[in-house]
Structure 1
Amino acid sequence: MNQDALPPTPVSEQGPLAWSDELLLGYPPMDHRHEEFVACLGDLQRAPDEILPMALDAMIHHLAEHFGEEDRWMEESGFPPRQCHVDEHAAVLRSAAEVRSLLLQGEMAPCRRLADALEDWFPGHATHLDSALAHWMCKAQLGGKPVVLRRRS
């Protein structure tokens, strides 16, 4: 059977999310942000309890910058389906803020669950919403579709 025809393995069966060229979308500024996201998420997932609040704050800071940049790209370029994308970003930020509140009250489990949820959420978000934006931005700025070269292992 053709490997490309197989559905992707859910993240939970693969282990922690790691940056690879499988996550590339072909718009370098977005790919860079996504690589930062994966690194920040890994830091959050590996953080011991005593530094979990700092790791969550770093994740929230990254999310605000990351989503703010994508939201600006969508607004400034007139990206047609931007509202559902912006709304999803806002929902993730709201969830992270709620978890931060709980963490400050000493509840570690919601933070661990948020990290797992972000790990599960990100590949689908990138594949469905961010890839459309990457295509739009490449077309607007470069006049063509994004080109992505992936290594086979």
Structure 2
Amino acid sequence: MTTLAWTDKLVLNQPTLDTTHEEFVSLLNSFGAALDAGIDALQAYHALLAHTEAHFAMEEDWMARCGFEPQNCHSSQHAMVLNVMREALRYATQLNDREPLNILRTELAGWFPQHAEMMDAALVFTMEQRGFDPVTGKCREPVAETDGHDCGSGSCATS
């Protein structure tokens, strides 16, 4: 059984991010397949966690270069997800409780499409608007120090 299907809805037309997202989905599915097979899924989980850490660090770097405020809801979601993933790993390794891994599989499969379609799509839009090239790390338009509230979500209120 596939945990999360890769669909055109997840494509953001930003090649580096689309590749990274496709890898995330593949690793989530490998982790899910290990759980379904009843084998030790920790190796697959470690791969998923390492990828997710690098994936989010890449996006965080892009946000910083594009002028997102350091404390924004996109970054907050990343931090929350990584905290939960690390806590599930702690339960699995230190307490020998694998149930959080099963729960997390379902939660990540539900969370990721919404995050990609809203938060990551807003990041890609900002990158396009500012002429950011992820390969060079340069913006066509310089980012002002006080660029306002630009967190990647229309649901945040400006302070």
TM-score (ref. length: structure 1): 0.77
Q: How does 1:1-153 map to 2 (within 5 A)?
A: 16-47=3-34, 48-79=37-68, 83-104=72-93, 105-141=95-131
The structure with the greater share of residues assigned to helix is 1
Query: Unmatched 5+ residue regions in structure 2?
Result: 133-139, 141-159
CA RMSD of aligned residues (A): 1.8
Counterpart residue type for residue 117 of structure 1: E
Q: Distance in 1 between matches of 2:64 and 2:70?
A: 10
Counterpart residue type for residue 55 of structure 1: A
Q: Distance in 2 between matches of 1:70 and 1:83?
A: 12
Query: Unmatched 5+ residue regions in structure 1?
Result: 1-14, 144-153
Q: Indicate the structure whose relative CO is greater, using CA pairs within 8 Å and at least 6 residues apart.
A: 1
Percent of pairs with identical residues: 35
Deviations 1:48-105 (A, max 9, x none): 4433111111111011000000000001111358611111100000000100011112
Give the length in aligned residue pairs. 129
Q: Distance in 2 between matches of 1:92 and 1:16?
A: 17
Q: Distance in 1 between matches of 2:33 and 2:11?
A: 24
Counterpart residue type for residue 104 of structure 2: L
Please tell me whether the aligned partners of residues 27 and 135 of structure 1 are also in contact (alpha carbons under 8 angstroms).
no
The SS at the match of 1:51 is coil
